[in-house]
Amino acid sequence: MIKIHKEVYGQGRPIVMIHGWAMHTGIWREFAQQLAHYYQVTCVDLPGHGLSETIEPYTLPQISDALIEVLPETPFTILGWSLGASVAMTMAKYYAQRIDSLILLAGNPRFVEDEGWVGMQPKLLEDFANNLQLNCAATLVHFLAIQVNSLPDNKHLLKQLKKSIKECELPAENILQGGLDILMNEDLRSHLASLSCPINIIQGDKDALVPVQTSWDMQKIQPACEVNIISGAGHTPFLSHQSEVIQIISRFL
């Protein structure tokens, strides 16, 4: 069993939070501590990110198997953001008995555009993959800027993101590439359709990475999904619209 870093806050009904590509638990900390006034919040570093050891091959089933070993024994709500939403859907599929409910924050089952599916332009991810080999740090800064540059307080939010990133060493290039491969190639729509747990979709209407239309398309795939669109939010609503996200979670649970 590999070492998976986690941070636990508060008491009560358990919520597990899984961060996005190139990040670590530090990105959640302020939000997690606020949410912990109402719940027991566990934040985990994905394998190869933050303080967690890595795995090979870097696939969603392998990631899910590594994380489940350190998570609560009792059924819990799993909240995944961006790439973390893909991990959360995979865990809800293969560890259904452990997952009480699922929250997808700025995530979707198919990140790239596909026939009949409005997603991210594949070229954007291809450019990220190519640029990682040239300048890893600059590529990550560009990725962070895309997440917030459509928002009025983008400079403050970008500063927060950069500060969080600098807490830990950057993931190795092969780990970053593995995460991009997941975003580029995985299609979890059949996973989503098969889930029986309650599902909450939280999406910003100004998200530059995940088109807001995907929320309604997910609801068509899985009619049991509850959709919440946050006006004025981008790809990081837990930073820009913290209280609204907490209110949505509290109503859902």
What residues are labeled active site? 82, 207, 235
β-pairing verdict for 14-18 and 99-105: unpaired
Strands (DSSP E) along 3-98, which ranges?
6-9, 14-18, 40-44, 76-81
Q: How far apart are CA 14 and CA 97, in angstroms?
A: 15
Question: Which H or E element spans position 199?
Answer: strand 199-204
3-class DSSP string for 166-225: CCCCCCCHHHHHHHHHHHHHCCCHHHHHHCCCCEEEEEECCCCCCCCHHHHHHHHHCCCC
Residue 107, SS3?
coil
